[in-house]
Structure 1
Amino acid sequence: MLKGFKDFLLRGNVLDLAVAVVVGAAFTAIVTAFTENIVNPLVAALGGSEEMGFGFEIIAGNAETFVDIGAVITAAINFVIIAAVVYFILIVPYTHAKKRFTVEEQAALTDVELLTEIRDLLSESARRDPA
């Protein structure tokens, strides 16, 4: 049981996954800081209210009932930025490298196709060597 666990850890995928999680978390922090400090003020400026930002209060005068539309817009922008970076920095190069460095396997022949090829090769061979 421990040998299987050791093989799992040393296979390399675990290390790659750990690095991806750490880098992803760090990048998420950068994007969150960008959206909170740059995008949020811009969205709040569109809302017109200097106190609350872009949104509305369900019950006037009660800050607890404020529906913050700006926060939802910011989260959507945050998601789009992270998804775009993941796609263009990880997925596109991986797909390109996979196409470049892997050999496509031929489709498996059915029994009938294989037997037909053998028959054709034997008949061709018999024509060349009539002995």
Structure 2
Amino acid sequence: MSGFKKFLFRGNLIDLAVAFVVGAAFAGLVKDFANSFITPLIALLGGKPDYTRLAVTIDGTRFPYGIFVTSAIAFVITAAIVYFLVVLPTAKLIERMDRGKEATERECPQCLSDIPVKAVRCRYCTSEIAPAAEVPA
């Protein structure tokens, strides 16, 4: 029982649980945003994207492919919302915050692996490397 308790209270499991709960809440937020704003905009431009009634019948068996088409459109809309309203602004913010930071690694000219800036020998291919040029402040 102590092993199970140790497993439950390990940091990675707690972090994963928190990430899952926040992710589920965020998914609901994105879905509601799409339903409240994006889908009505699309409906204004070209009609409501609802193809759930589309189906084909082969030998008496109905294949409702319209459900998949509607879900695929919803997925593309959701992915675009997440990319343009979350991923892109976050990447730009991180890039802006990292501008002033000093580089801690450089590329080995022989094997192209990342090595510490002050290294004079590559830890991967063991090539001798010229010291990094000092960048004036």
- TM-score of the pair, normalised by structure 2: 0.46
TM-score, normalised with respect to structure 1: 0.48
More strand by share: 2
Decide which structure has greater helix share.
1
